[in-house]
Amino acid sequence: MALRLCESEPDFEREKDPAARSPRTVPDRVVGVDPGLNVTGYAVVEPSPQGPYVVEAGVIRPSARCSALGQRLAYLHHELEGVLDDFPPGSLALERVHSHIKFPRTSILMAHARGVIVLAAATRGIPVFGYAAARVKKTLTGSGRAPKPQIQHAIMTELRLASLPEPHDVADACALALCHFHVGRNTRGLPGF
């Protein structure tokens, strides 16, 4: 049985209609997104002969005036649309919602943020791939229980960054994009980076 990692497409083998893509779309470009209502991290990562590199990274942070849930979601959707329009990707990697018995409200609120992110991608025909945090850690370090500093060091090394990506929301977005690169390369036989 095939492992299904994808959220908006059945698997890696299903190809999107090339006519639906923007002429500026870079097929191997990945936008990694670490969703949140207060801070959402994003990283635009592309392959190169030397390996993957970060084209753009940052955070989407609603202002204090966006206090209502609807306002925060509208702001997140609008700003992410801007990122996707400026850097049309071949795919979007997103952290899967995880729930903890002590904090069910957090999972519900995170699902709202993920919903507008998936909507922004879907309206542009961008496939969305969801990854559990343990899968990201295992893909980047070989251990699904790797501590945060080990993940950050792996990101810094692989992306050839001079320092650790900050804030942690950006680091998590970079990790998601790198995970998708590795999974895609292993699953579809994409060229090495």
Catalytic site residues? 34, 95, 169
Torsional sign, CA 56, 4, 9, 74: negative
Q: Which residue has the tokens 């071949």?
A: 90
Query: Which residues are CB-neighbours of 55 under 8 A, at least 6 positions away?
Result: 29, 44, 45, 46, 87
Residues making up the chain, counted from first to last: 193
Give how far the C-alpha of residue 85 lies from the chain's centroid of Cα atoms, to the nearest Å.
15
**What is the rounded distance in angstroms from the CA atom of residue 36 to the CA atom of residue 76?**
9
